[in-house]
Amino acid sequence: MTERIAWSITMASYALNLPITTPLTYLGLFGVGALVMRGAGCTINDMWDRNLDKGVGESPSTRLYSTPGSDLGNKFEFWL
């Protein structure tokens, strides 16, 4: 999917005779946006499943709420 977006941005910029900075800017924005949204999705999934994850025995140290005393406030400070 990402390669289609990159290809379409590149082709549109070429067709409109835009400077090279235009597609690079948009590709950078889409790339950063994809990373941020993936991280946000993983975080919100961990927050919603925190009660379910307590009953699962696999790798508890990798979960968002694995640290004793961790709360939602500390997790949101990371995003701000």
- What tokens were used for 27? 């590709």
Write out the chain's pLDDT in tens, 80 residues: 667 878 888 888 889 898 989 889 988 998 899 889 988 888 888 788 877 766 666 655 555 555 555 555 555 555 55
pLDDT of residue 64: 53
CB atoms within 10 A of CB 9: 19
The HSE-up count of residue 71 (CA atoms within 13 Å, CB side) is 2
| First-to-last C-alpha distance (Å) of the chain | 29
pLDDT of residue 25: 92
Domain borders along the chain are 2-28+42-79
